[in-house]
Amino acid sequence: MKKAGIIGVGEYLPKRILTNADLEKMVDTSNEWIVSRTGIKERRLAADNEATSDLAIKAAREALENAHLNPQDLDLIIVATITPDMAFPSVASIVENFLLAKKAAAFDISAACVGFVYALSIANQFIVRGTYKNALVIGAEKLSAITDWKDRNTCVLLGDGAGACVLSKVESGGIISAYLGCDGSKGELLNLPAGGSRKPASHETVDNRLHYLKMQGNELFKIAVKIMTEAARTVLRQAGLTFKDIDLIIPHQANSRIIMAVAKRLGIPEDKIYLNIEKYGNMSSASTATALVEAVKDGRVKKGDTILLDAFGAGLVWGACVIDL
Ligand code: COA
């Protein structure tokens, strides 16, 4: 059976750079603390008039150009995001409109930092079953809109950006295996308390800063290492491969110490792990997406290579995916 493969990639990172030195002026932190605890040196911030769809559209345009495809060729658009422009319409609908992708079905999915891996897996199903030919998968976030710039526990970690890829039925290569999971009992470790139907926006929710992301970082750290290690092992087992078959692991970029702890547990050398957290911080669904895009653009991977995406995030959710490029 023919597989769904990546035929084009694109990204967009907002121009504005927020360095650790800038953050030192905003909260009680230091460059030394941030670099040694997280690996992050700077992150990008969208402009006030830039929303998630603006980032998504720019990444999408580059991916389509790279794939030599017109928007009209698209059958499906999936945007993974936890920071949509608004509750509805979806970011995917806004992207469809701007691209004039008239033939495409379009929807968003919410799987936090694993959103891009979930979205790839969904698009894969549509293509392999023959329902659709060409799909655009985007991970896009404006996390700065839900960041509490007074909370040093979280604001130093996050950033804005978008990554996209075009999937199509391919003659060789493609998505070999995907593994997704969830443990909703740990949802309280990372959440955005207000702004939904449980706590609609009110003066009280605003006064209590409930429209900002809340995180129990230390607890998450330990779980993340365990989950990402298990997810990588499981997806490889499903694929009938071993780590020797993998040219590059592209993990979710939440914390370089999490990533290196996973690599150590798996017995993988550091040069087989892709990191761009230093430049961008954690961009949720856009992290794995842009890391994949930049690994391709940087020439770290080439046609014929096998990559493993590995992510965890709020939910808690996790997902891993093996792809032959
Ligand atoms: N600057 C300086 N000090 C800070 C700080 C900052 N930006 N943020 C927290 N601290 C302090 C804490 O207040 C704490 O001080 P205390 O000991 O006086 O209470 C101290 O640093 C250590 O905090 P701790 O939480 O133990 O640090 P840590 O080594 O676990 O690192 C994280 C904190 C958030 C970087 C780390 O836990 C992490 O990355 N967790 C996972 C987060 C994650 O993956 N989130 C996204 C999921 S997709």
Looking up residue 76, the CATH number of its domain turns out to be 3.40.47.10
Mean pLDDT within 9-26: 98
Catalytic annotation present for 282: yes
Tell me, yes or no, whether 56 and 183 share the same domain.
no
Residue 76: enclosing H or E segment and its boundaries?
strand 76-80
Question: Per-residue pLDDT tens for 264-319?
Answer: 999 999 999 999 999 999 999 999 999 999 999 999 999 999 999 999 999 999 99
Residue 231 sits in which domain range? Answer: 177-324
Give the whole-number percent of the chain exceeding pLDDT 90: 98
Q: Are residues 196 and 105 in the same domain?
A: no
Nearest to 33 by CA among 150, 156, 149, 213: 156
Task: Name the residue at shortest CA distance from atom 42 of ligand 1.
Answer: 217
- Buried-exposed string 8-34: b where 16+ CB fall within 10 A, e elsewhere: bbbbbbbeeebebeebbeeeebeeeeb
End position of a domain, from candidates 129, 153, 172: 172
Q: How many CA atoms lie within 13 A of 82 on its CB side?
A: 28
CA nearest neighbour of 134 among 56, 80, 67, 57: 67
State whether 186 and 90 are in the same domain.
no
The model's confidence at residue 148, banded by pLDDT at 50, 70 and 90, is very high
Query: What does the pLDDT average to over 144-162?
Result: 98
> Mean pLDDT over residues 73-86, rounded?
98
Query: Which of 141, 172, 203 corresponds to the end of one domain?
Result: 172
How far does the centroid of ligand 1 lie from the alpha carbon of residue 37, in Å?
A: 7
Looking at the structure, do residues 23 and 51 belong to the same domain, yes or no?
Answer: yes
Same domain? For 25 and 164 the reply is: yes
Token reading at 254: 């939440």
Q: What number is the average pLDDT over the span 226-234?
A: 98
Q: What is the mean pLDDT of residues 108-132?
A: 97
pLDDT of res. 207: 96
Query: In the listed set 119, 144, 172, which residue is the last one of a domain according to the structure?
Result: 172
pLDDT at residue 17 greater than cutoff 90: yes
pLDDT digits 0-9 by tens, 175-213:
999 999 999 999 999 999 999 999 999 999 999 999 999
- Do both 182 and 165 map to the same domain? no
Closest ligand 1 atom to residue 258 Cα is: 39
- Shared domain for 150 and 203, answered yes or no, is no
Nearest CA, atom 1, ligand 1: 29
How would you class 117 by CB atoms within 10 Å of its CB: exposed for 0-12, middle for 13-18, buried for 19 or more? buried
The answer to whether residues 283 and 310 belong to one domain is yes
Q: Are residues 198 and 261 in the same domain?
A: yes
Q: Are residue 45 and residue 117 in the same domain, yes or no?
A: yes
Per-residue confidence (pLDDT) for residue 138, from 0 to 100: 98
For 83, 86, 117, 178, 182, the CA distances from 205, given in Å and listed in that order, are 18, 18, 32, 39, 28
Q: What percent of the chain has pLDDT over 70?
A: 100
Q: Is the pLDDT of residue 2 over 90?
A: no
Type and span of the H or E element at 255: none
Residue 211 appears among annotated catalytic residues? no
Is 1's pLDDT higher than 80?
no
- Indicate whether 182 and 40 sit together in one domain: no
Same domain as 206, residue 84:
no
Q: How many domains does the chain have?
A: 2
pLDDT for residue 172: 87
Q: Annotated catalytic, 252?
A: yes
Q: In whole numbers, what is the pLDDT of the chain averaged over residues?
A: 97
User: What single string gives the DSSP state of each residue in 127-151?
Assistant: HHTTS-SEEEEEEEEEGGGG--TT-
